[in-house]
Amino acid sequence: MKRFSFGLWVAIVSGVLFAGNPAWSQAERRFSVKVTVAEISDSAGKIDPRAARLDRNLRQKFKYNSLKVIEERRLQLGLDEVGSVALPGGRMFRVQPLDVGERGLLMAVGWEGEVMMDMRAPSNHLLVIGGPAHGDGQLVVSIEPHYPSD
Amino acid sequence: MSSTRAESLGRDQRDLNAYHDGELSGLRRRLFERRLSRSPRLQAELEALKRVSECVQQLGPQLARVDVWDEIALRLPAIDAQRQPRADPQAWRGLDWLADYSRPIAAIAVATALALALFLGIMDDGAPANPGMIRWLDTGGRSVMVLEDPAGATIVWLLDAPEDGASEGESREAV
């Protein structure tokens, strides 16, 4: 029986382990995070078509007559990189990818004085943070991470 | 001689701790108090022991805060995620004998890895049970409602205005 060399065994084991745990390349990965800042209100108005997905999800839970997009940004972020989007009132919404794994992208999101959170979400998951009063309605921020799976 | 002196110092230390804790009684207590009155070193050590004891007692109420660990535990996943694993070369010292068994071990490792990969491949139906997972949440004292939609959405809704004087340390919530 032909004997395998030790180097070949090391190569096979390394290949299997690296294939299952590609952590060495995660630091260079980029993640697209779409951030939409909007206002919902009981006042008569339109539903902004740019926030159609947000509207579909919110409408199942809350009653409102108008949805206005205030700001829409698509951030390209690496791990530990902080992206910011200006909110009404001079505050800054921040999002920071921390880790990516089989169960999604772990992100630190929020804005100081209101809410800060760490959340793991798979690609294309919609995270909505809302409730603070704004104008005659309420402020809503949606976050959607998009990235190719491994 | 040096061993006798070391034994004496060790006995002094034990008696000093026992005396400080009120555990010496009767003849042993009187004998130790006589030694204490003649030894400036023992007196200084007893004073130092009392100071340490007072410091610990002053820290007591802080140690007893029940929410300290909760605050730390809620932050651990994010900290773990940021930490990169590092190999410790010292850990492999003394394991040279493994070289003799490297081939069988490598074969077992490969077989185990393949079996695990196949098992996980079979078990994974491609759709996580809980797509969005909140690991840590700080609302600054506000009430919050979390709504999970199986279609792939998580809604975090802040319900009321922040309370006046609510500090950051008092307002952590886990979901």
d(CA B45, CA B32): 14
Residue B125: count of CB within 10 angstroms of its CB: 7
Please check whether residue A12 lies inside any domain of the structure: no
Please check whether residue A106 lies inside any domain of the structure: yes
d(CA A103, CA A110): 21
How many domains would you assign to chain A? 1
Query: Tokens at residue B79, please?
Result: 């900290």
- A97 with B121: CB under 8 angstroms? no
Q: Which amino acid is at A87?
A: L
Residue with tokens 């007196």: B43
User: Which is nearest to A80 in space by CA: B79, B122, B129, B136?
Assistant: B79
Q: Is the pLDDT of residue B168 over 50?
A: no
Residue B124: count of CB within 10 angstroms of its CB: 10
Count chain A–chain B contacts defined by CB atoms under 8 A. Answer: 128
Please check whether residue A10 lies inside any domain of the structure: no
CB contact under 8 A, A128 and B153: yes
Please check whether residue A2 lies inside any domain of the structure: no
Residue A131: list chain B partners with CB under 8 A.
144, 157-159
Per-residue pLDDT at A145: 96
Domain that holds residue A56: 27-146
| Shortest CA distance from B110: residue in chain A | A13
- A46 with A64: CB under 8 angstroms? no
pLDDT in tens, B135-155: 888 888 888 888 888 778 999
Residues with Cβ within 8 Å of residue A66, at least 6 apart in sequence: A40, A41, A42, A43, A44, A45, A46, A47, A137
Kindly report the nearest CA distance between residue A25 and chain B, in angstroms: 12
pTM (two decimals): 0.52
Residue B140: list chain A partners with CB under 8 A.
113-115
Chain A interface test: which of B74, B79, B123, B157 (most A C-beta within 10 Å): B157
User: Which is nearest to A34 in space by CA: A103, A120, A97, A126?
Assistant: A126
Per-residue pLDDT at B97: 60
Per-residue pLDDT at B142: 83
Cα B150 to Cα A17, A57, A145, B65: the distances in Å are 33, 11, 17, 38
Please check whether residue A58 lies inside any domain of the structure: yes
Cα B84 to Cα A23, B80, B90, B101: the distances in Å are 9, 8, 18, 29
Residues with Cβ within 8 Å of residue B93, at least 6 apart in sequence: none
pLDDT in tens, B90-107: 655 665 665 666 667 766
Residue B44: count of CB within 10 angstroms of its CB: 10
Each residue's pLDDT tens digit in chain A (150 positions)?
455 577 677 667 666 655 555 555 666 789 999 999 999 999 999 999 999 999 999 998 899 999 999 999 999 999 999 999 999 988 999 999 999 988 899 999 998 888 899 999 999 999 999 988 888 899 999 999 999 876
Is B149 an interface residue toward A (CB < 8 Å)? yes
Please check whether residue A128 lies inside any domain of the structure: yes
Please check whether residue A88 lies inside any domain of the structure: yes
Q: Is the pLDDT of residue B82 over 70?
A: no
- B110 with A20: CB under 8 angstroms? no
Please check whether residue A136 lies inside any domain of the structure: yes
Residue A12: list chain B partners with CB under 8 A.
106, 110
d(CA A121, CA A107): 8
Query: Tokens at residue B26, please?
Result: 């009767």
pLDDT in tens, A1-36: 455 577 677 667 666 655 555 555 666 789 999 999
- A123 with A34: CB under 8 angstroms? no
Average pLDDT, chain B: 70
Residues with Cβ within 8 Å of residue A128, at least 6 apart in sequence: A54, A57, A58, A140, A141, A142, A143, B153, B154, B155, B156
Mutual orientation of helices B40-63 and B2-20 as an angle, nearest 10°?
50
User: Which is nearest to A142 in space by CA: A78, A70, A60, A63?
Assistant: A70
